[in-house]
Amino acid sequence: MTIRPRRSALYMPASNARAIEKARSLACDVVMLDLEDAVAPEQKAAARDQAAAAGGFGRREWVIRVNGLDTEWGADDLAACRAAAPDAVLLPKVSSPDDLRQARALLGPGPALWAMIETARALVDLRAIAEAAAETGLAAFVVGPNDLAKELRVRPGVDRAPLLPILSRIVTVARAYGIAPLDGVMNAFDDDGAMAAECAQGLAFGFDGKTLIHPNQIAPANRVFAPTAEEVAWAQRIVAAFDAPENAGKGAIKVDGKMVELLHRDDAQRTLAVAAAIADRG
Ligand code: COA
Ligand code: MG
Does position 282 have pLDDT exceeding 80, yes or no? no
Q: Which ligand is nearest to the CA of 211?
A: 1
Could you report the per-residue pLDDT of 228-262, keeping only the tens digit for each? 999 999 999 999 999 999 999 999 999 999 999 99
Ligand 1 center to residue 213 CA distance, Å?
A: 7
Ligand 1 center to residue 98 CA distance, Å?
A: 34
Q: Which residues contact 257 (CB under 8 A, 6 or more apart)?
A: none
Burial class (CB in 10 A: 0-12, 13-18, 19+), 6: buried
Does position 281 have pLDDT exceeding 90, yes or no? no
Could you report the per-residue pLDDT of 143-198, keeping only the tens digit for each? 999 999 999 999 999 999 999 999 999 999 999 999 999 999 999 999 999 999 99
Ligand 2 center to residue 220 CA distance, Å?
A: 23
Could you report the per-residue pLDDT of 124-148, keeping only the tens digit for each? 999 999 999 999 999 999 999 999 9
CA separation for the pair 268, 146 (Å, rounded): 35
Q: Whose CA is nearest to atom 47 of ligand 1?
A: 11
Q: Which domains does the chain have, with CATH numbers?
A: 8-224 (3.20.20.60), 229-281 (no CATH)
CA separation for the pair 181, 172 (Å, rounded): 9
> To the nearest whole number, what is the mean pLDDT of the chain?
96
Sort residue 256 into left (φ over 0), alpha (ψ -120 to 50) or beta: left
**Residue in 22, 31, 118 to alter for ligand 1 test, most ligand atoms within 8 A of Cβ:** 22
**Residue in 62, 118, 185, 214 to alter for ligand 1 test, most ligand atoms within 8 A of Cβ:** 214
Question: pLDDT class for 1, splitting at 50, 70, 90?
Answer: low
Q: Specify the pLDDT at position 55.
A: 84
Ligand 2 center to residue 93 CA distance, Å?
A: 7
Question: For residue 122, which amino acid is it?
Answer: A
Q: Specify the pLDDT at position 56.
A: 84
pTM of the model: 0.96
